[in-house]
Amino acid sequence: MATRAPLRALWTRAEARRIYDLPFADLMFEAQTVHRRNFDPNRVQMSRLLSIKTGGCPEDCGYCSQSARMPGEKLKASKLMEVERVIDEAKKAKAGGATRYCMGAAWRSPKDRDMDMVVAMVEGVKGLGLETCMTLGMLSPDQAFRLKEAGLDYYNHNLDTSERYYSEIITTRSFADRLETLSNVRDAGMKVCAGGILGMGETVEDRVDMLVTLANLDEAPESVPINMLIPIPGTQLEGAERIDSLDFVRTIALARIMMPQSHVRLSAGRTEMSDETQALCFLAGANSIFVGETLLTADNPGEDHDASLFRRLGVEPEALDGRP
Ligand code: SAM
Ligand code: DTB
Ligand code: SF4
């Protein structure tokens, strides 16, 4: 007789919204309780990013400095970086305490002719004892299998926002395309890294809906990056109104409660955040950051600032497999 998978409770929008709207102290208490049940609350995972191919992207994501379609002055497009250089940069990241190395390319999807180099990068970085992550745009099932075979641990592909708001931000690929890539990544046996951006003019409903979609995937993503929009001059969203810090913290808390076993990453936008806001994000259950002076193209607080913040908060970097 066929065995059935256990029934899984799906999140409703109404329940998620109820949690988002709790009095702040109650929301934080619930998020901390869930966090402590699943993680050491004083450990934060450190990932490091590298742009292996910058600019000249054919997609029209309204927030991105790398789109060839942005209204303002464009970044100069680079070629795919040499494999040796990627590995040298990964060595530096490891020496700085990062446990995961994430390589990003400004592509709609990888071209078959690029796959050999990308595979060599994964093998080289993996060989250093780092976890590997890539974000290269949409993946076919074959490409996903090839990356998995090469040793890729995580693939990042964000939903970015709710299905409803999505077409205001991106028109060259659909929300359904994004879900398909996530399912190809999962089917290939890789871990999923998927999240979004706050502060793009979305409503609270959009934020909640994006998290409901992520939490209700067949398996929740192991890694959930929550980015605060970095308003980049020349992009469609350069003038977007900043999100209120406490709303940002609320969204992190909701992600923690809805995806209790995932690493929630306080991602882009930390240079514009006070140390106190970042501390609230950690209290709300964020337990991963990007370290280093740069993200892909934009600034990030450097090692010194983060080391001092961690010291003041009594936070330690999470070791590989650092779950309690
Ligand atoms: N080209 C690939 C793709 O989009 O699938 C990978 C790189 S892309 C830059 C990765 C993610 O970075 C985006 O999905 C978005 O969530 C985030 N991101 C890009 N620009 C950002 C910005 N200005 N502020 C905040 N997050 C940003
Ligand atoms: C994610 O969610 N945020 C990272 C990573 N995944 C690839 C990228 C942030 C990019 C910020 C803008 C820039 O550096 O250009
Ligand atoms: Fe291209 Fe990715 Fe930027 Fe979109 S987010 S324009 S796909 S690099």
Residues 285 and 32 sit within 8 Å (Cβ to Cβ)? yes
Q: How many CB atoms lie within 10 A of CB 109?
A: 17
Q: What is the pLDDT of residue 6?
A: 63
Q: What is the mean pLDDT of residues 1-18?
A: 80
CB 237 less than 6 A from any atom of ligand 3: no
Q: Which of 53, 60, 66 to mutate to test the pocket of ligand 3 (most atoms within 8 A of CB)?
A: 66
Alpha carbon separation from 24 to 37, 164, 245 (Å, rounded): 20, 27, 12
Residue 9 has pLDDT above 80, yes or no: no
Residues 239 and 284 sit within 8 Å (Cβ to Cβ)? no
Residue 3 has pLDDT above 90, yes or no: no
CA of 56 to the centre of ligand 3 (A): 9
Residue 1 has pLDDT above 90, yes or no: no
**Structure confidence by residue, pLDDT tens digits, 151-166:** 999 999 999 999 999 9
43-53 and 100-105 beta bridge pairing: parallel
Residue 121 has pLDDT above 50, yes or no: yes
Query: Catalytic: 133?
Result: yes
Q: What is the mean pLDDT of residues 105-131?
A: 97
Residue 4 has pLDDT above 90, yes or no: no
Ligand 1 atom nearest to 137, measured from its CA: 5
Q: What is the mean pLDDT of residues 120-144?
A: 97
Q: What is the pLDDT of residue 2?
A: 53
Alpha carbon separation from 148 to 81, 112, 123, 151, 284 (Å, rounded): 21, 15, 10, 5, 32
Q: What is the pLDDT of residue 289?
A: 97
Catalytic hit among 48, 61, 100, 146 = 61
CA of 295 to the centre of ligand 2 (A): 6
What's the chain's average pLDDT?
Answer: 95
Query: Catalytic: 102?
Result: yes
**Structure confidence by residue, pLDDT tens digits, 171-213:** 999 999 999 999 999 999 999 999 999 999 999 999 999 999 9
**Structure confidence by residue, pLDDT tens digits, 281-298:** 999 999 999 999 999 999
Full-model pTM: 0.96
Q: What is the pLDDT of residue 323?
A: 41
CB 227 less than 6 A from any atom of ligand 2: yes
Q: What is the pLDDT of residue 8?
A: 73
CB 281 less than 6 A from any atom of ligand 1: no
Query: Catalytic: 281?
Result: no
43-53 and 288-291 beta bridge pairing: parallel
Q: Which of 61, 169, 243, 295 to mutate to test the pocket of ligand 1 (most atoms within 8 A of CB)?
A: 61
CA of 298 to the centre of ligand 1 (A): 11
CB 297 less than 6 A from any atom of ligand 2: yes
Q: What is the pLDDT of residue 322?
A: 47
Q: What is the pLDDT of residue 264?
A: 98
Q: What is the pLDDT of residue 216?
A: 97
Task: Point out the ligand nearest to the CA of residue 265.
Answer: 2
Q: What is the pLDDT of residue 226?
A: 98
CA of 34 to the centre of ligand 3 (A): 33
Q: What is the pLDDT of residue 5?
A: 61
CB 230 less than 6 A from any atom of ligand 2: yes
**Structure confidence by residue, pLDDT tens digits, 65-75:** 999 999 999 98
Q: Which of 47, 53, 64 to mutate to test the pocket of ligand 1 (most atoms within 8 A of CB)?
A: 64
Q: What is the mean pLDDT of residues 260-278?
A: 98
CA of 78 to the centre of ligand 3 (A): 14
How sure is the predictor about 324, in pLDDT bands with cuts at 50, 70 and 90?
Answer: very low
Ligand 1 atom nearest to 157, measured from its CA: 5
Catalytic hit among 146, 178, 207, 265 = 265
Residues 231 and 195 sit within 8 Å (Cβ to Cβ)? no
